[in-house]
């Protein structure tokens, strides 16, 4: 009973705040509502007993990505700037297609019977997760771990290069002027 109540609170928060994220006119508020959605999702992970994943969700998503988004909002727009919204025609058409898509997915889902497995759950403590991340073989995830680290390195270098292009151009102009 208690866990059900907790689930409905988290689910309600997720749905309400995700609707507010996509409908509010103020961009900074949308970022804060997104933060609430991500924190409630971490609560769902805690309920499923995946503690490490919930901690990662809190630190990387709620702590990292939201701060990055807020920084970029402050760099590119005024603090109380109102978002431009699409015309009513586009709003209506998107709402219709979204409702149709959601209805189709839900109908398909309810017509399929998922049979829950009764096997004992494997441990999901931080120790088990860490062992699986660096081992290879049947239950090891060493290869995706290495691939993701290279991807992160490449993304960081790429982001730096993309963001500092302007500076290089100014230097080029100055060199040309000197010549």
- Binding residue for another protein, selected from 165, 170, 177, 178, defined by CB under 8 A: 165
Closest CA to 33 of 73, 93, 2, 78: 73
Return the residues of window 32-91 that contact another protein according to CB under 8 A: 34, 37-38, 41, 44-45, 47-50, 53, 56-57, 60-61, 64-65, 68-69, 71-73, 75-77, 83-86, 90-91
Closest approach of another protein to the CB of residue 3, in Å: 5
- Binding residue for another protein, selected from 27, 36, 39, 43, defined by CB under 8 A: 27
**How many CB atoms are located within 10 Å of the residue 17 CB?**
19
**By CB under 8 A, residue 142 contacts another protein:** no
**By CB under 8 A, residue 170 contacts another protein:** no
Phi-psi region of 49 (alpha: psi -120 to 50; beta: other; left: phi over 0): left
- Binding residue for another protein, selected from 78, 127, 130, 133, defined by CB under 8 A: 133
Name residues whose C-beta falls within 8 Å of residue 80's C-beta, 6 or more positions apart in sequence: 26, 28
Closest CA to 35 of 74, 69, 66, 70: 66
Residue in the block written with tokens 């771990």: 145
State which residue, 109 or 178, has the beta carbon closest to another protein.
Answer: 109
> DSSP label at 130?
H
State which residue, 128 or 174, has the beta carbon closest to another protein.
Answer: 128
State which residue, 24 or 179, has the beta carbon closest to another protein.
Answer: 24
**By CB under 8 A, residue 117 contacts another protein:** yes
Return the residues of window 86-105 that contact another protein according to CB under 8 A: 86, 90-91, 94-95, 97-99, 101-102, 105
Number of residues that this document lists for the chain:
179
Integer CA distances (angstroms), 15 to 10, 41, 86, 115, 159, in order: 9, 11, 22, 26, 32
Q: Say how many residues touch another protein, by CB under 8 A.
A: 85
């Amino acid at each position: 009973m208690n866990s059900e109540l907790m689930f409905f609170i988290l689910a309600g928060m997720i749905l309400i705040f995700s609707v507010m994220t996509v409908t509010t006119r103020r961009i900074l508020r949308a970022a804060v509502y997104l933060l609430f959605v991500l924190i409630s999702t971490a609560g769902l992970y805690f309920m499923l007993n995946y503690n490490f994943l919930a901690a990662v969700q809190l630190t990387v998503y709620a702590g990292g990505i939201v701060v990055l988004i807020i920084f970029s909002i402050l760099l590119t727009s005024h603090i109380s700037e109102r978002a431009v919204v699409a015309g009513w025609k586009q709003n209506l058409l998107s709402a219709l297609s979204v409702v149709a898509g959601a209805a189709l997915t839900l109908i398909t889902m309810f017509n399929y019977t998922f049979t829950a497995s009764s096997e004992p759950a494997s441990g999901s403590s931080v120790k088990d997760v860490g062992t699986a991340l660096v081992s290879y073989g049947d239950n090891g995830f060493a290869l995706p771990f290495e691939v993701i680290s290279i991807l992160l390195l490449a993304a960081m270098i790429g982001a730096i290069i993309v963001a500092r292009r302007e500076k290089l151009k100014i230097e080029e102009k100055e060199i040309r002027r000197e010549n």
